[in-house]
Chain A
Amino acid sequence: MKQSDIQKQAQPTFFKKHQRKLYQSLEDKHTTVEEIDSEDPLATKMILNMGPQHPATHGVLRLLLQLNGETIEKTKLDIGYLHRGVEKIAENKTYQEFMPYTDRMDYLAPYMNNVALCTAVEKIANVEVPERAQYIRMIGCELARISSHLLWLGTLVMDAGAVSFFIWTFKEREKIYDIMDRIGGHRFTISHARIGGVANDLTDEATALIKEFIGNFPNELRDYHMLLDRNRLFYERNAGIGVLETEEAIRLGATGPVLRGCGYPMDIRKFSPYLKYDEVEFDVPTRLEGDNLARYYVRMEEMGESIKIIQQCLQKMPAGPIRTDNAKQAYPSKDEVYYSMEGMINDFMMTDIGICPPEGAESYHAVESPKGELGYYIQSDGTGHPWRLKIKAPSFTNLQVLEQILDGEMVSDTVVIIGGVDPVLGESDK
């Protein structure tokens, strides 16, 4: 297709400069400038805009596809429709004040984001976290991982054409929401972790619900496997689709299940263990194929491993405090705040100034979120606000992979491949 044709088709009425440059970049994507055919008598070539308001793109992802018939020749992704500037906001908030914003980053696994922020702040400010709090966090994190993977599974199967299965996985997600409600008082954006521990201990009711869930969920997982593994429709929609070569995965910086689906057992929980992950036993599932089906198996097995981790946490969890008792490092308990003057003052100081890491300290701490490596880099200037807070979002790096693996695929597979990569735009757009 001639450039003039593309430019003719692109008559933007809105953000004119932005749109023109985007179409221009589609034209320049590959350095080898091919002699573009002067005649296209059947008019098989076209440019297809998909999104940002497309139900199958999992949020506000915009794809610009250059098609030849039904084959995708080139793809460009346009993200940023959900950009809120949380890094800028973080520079103007105390560390604890910033936590509700992290809930809204990867909104499918909010607990994981809270823990990622807390562990990073605790690393830079050198805060000791009681053992019981660490196990509670691990339980919350693994429940969040299952919840996120369940949404991925439901939407992936729905993208492949089976709508009713989505309701099945949401039935299980509903149970996790109920557990979260009992743990921290919120179903969705939970904000249960605190710097130095967690907000409150697990109630008996919550523990009972968790035990019931981990008792039943393996059966559900088995049913999912029975329905999908040998299902010809599902298999053929996923096998050999969106293949990412092993070497290319490293070069493109893929992370999480996308990388593990290519054969690398890279998992931050093993790479540099945080919380108590070095004290529980679990495997890191990998596959070699690198296609959508490999990612499916990796995530399905991860859910099983999460159940194992939660079981071990419940066994190993000791009794004890759930938040550090240092008034300079964490909020005092509400009993103290309401009944003692010092508690009141400390609570006020924590809210007003917050925790102050040493001046000039820099630190990076990463956790393994459902999507991959979720890291927080913090640079402190000695005040209660971070000087710079950078979030390494796994969805962002995986979207870059998506832009490459879509080339050469069929347009009908686009939504399945997006589903397999599992991006969350709230996280990638920050």
Chain B
Amino acid sequence: MMNEKQSEVIRQTIDSLTEKFETAIVDVYQSTGDTFILVSAEQLLPIANFLKEELDYTFLSDVFGIDRYTSDDRFEVVYNLISLKNRARIFLKVRCNEENPEVDSVVSVWKSANWNEREVYDMFGIRFKNHPDLRRMYMPEDFEYFPLRKEFPLLGVPGSIELPSTTPDREE
């Protein structure tokens, strides 16, 4: 659980964010002691830069996607940020729609987002604009589906992936 000093740091973070990007902050809420900040996708890069340069959130721990199946703006991308200086952790969120799931890549801000964004692309099919190397992370490129989307069946799609020949001696 958070102590007083940490919640003070996080309150200051939210204050300076809302002051600078008043219209871009869609929602700020806390859940079980963690702070989530939902921002509009257009303003993601300036906000990310501001958080890194001005508020010392230099360490990007993780990026992951969420499928909000049946809701508007179906996909959500969450950035798990740490300020080593102030010992604080916040979560930045952006949303994108199902028809054109595209979010700006933050690799130019935090280099460590590279693989994490590839993972999100692999699992949810969310494309990251200006990503240097947007390939699938786990699944082979030949795979056509996005497994962590809710409509993907748990047992997989039969025939979706080429399996090795069981008789290796015979080249076809």
Contact = CB atoms under 8 A, between A and B. Distances in A.
Nearest to A29: B133
Nearest to B132: A31
A328 interface: no
B62 A363 contact: no
Interface in A262-308: 264, 266, 271-272
Interface string B127-150: 000001101111111100001100
A361 interface: yes
Contact of B32 (A25, A83, A271, A361): A361
A180 to B, nearest CB: 29
Interface in A307-350: none
Interface string B80-98: 1000100101010000000
A92 B150 CA distance: 11
Contact of B31 (A14, A362, A375): A362
B7 interface: no
Contacts of B78: 377
Nearest to A25: B133
B135 A22 contact: yes
Nearest to B133: A25
Most buried by A among B89, B115, B148, B162: B115
B140 A15 contact: yes
Contact of A17 (B142, B147, B171): B142
Contact of A272 (B31, B89, B110, B119): B89
Contacts of B58: 250
Interface size class of B (residues with CB under 8 A): 35 or more
Contacts of A264: 84
Contacts of A430: 138
Contacts of A360: 31
Given A251-B112, A363-B32, A388-B67, A17 B61 contact: no
A363 B34 contact: yes
A364 B82 CA distance: 13
For the residues of B in contact with A, the DSSP-based class is loop
B114 interface: yes
Interface residues of A, number: 50
B12 to A, nearest CB: 18
A253 B107 CA distance: 12
A21 interface: yes
Given A14-B162, A15-B162, A392-B80, A397 B132 contact: no
Contacts of B152: 88
A373 interface: yes
Interface string B41-61: 000000000000000001111
Given A272-B89, A400-B114, A362 B32 contact: yes
Interface in A31-50: 31
A123 interface: yes
Contacts of B170: none
Given A28-B133, A400-B115, A21 B141 contact: yes
A316 B114 CA distance: 44
Nearest to A82: B138
B109 to A, nearest CB: 10
Nearest to B87: A271
Q: Which 6 A-B pairs have the closest CB atoms?
A: A253-B112, A80-B138, A18-B140, A18-B141, A363-B32, A83-B138
Interface of B: 31-34, 36, 58-62, 64, 66-67, 78, 80, 84, 87, 89, 91, 110-112, 114-116, 119, 123, 132-133, 135-142, 147-148, 152, 154, 162, 164, 171
8 contacts: A22-B135, A25-B135, A87-B148, A92-B154, A252-B111, A253-B59, A255-B61, A271-B87
Given A28-B133, A79-B138, A253-B59, 14 more contacts: A13-B171, A15-B141, A21-B135, A21-B141, A80-B139, A123-B32, A250-B58, A252-B112, A271-B87, A363-B34, A379-B66, A388-B66, A392-B80, A400-B115
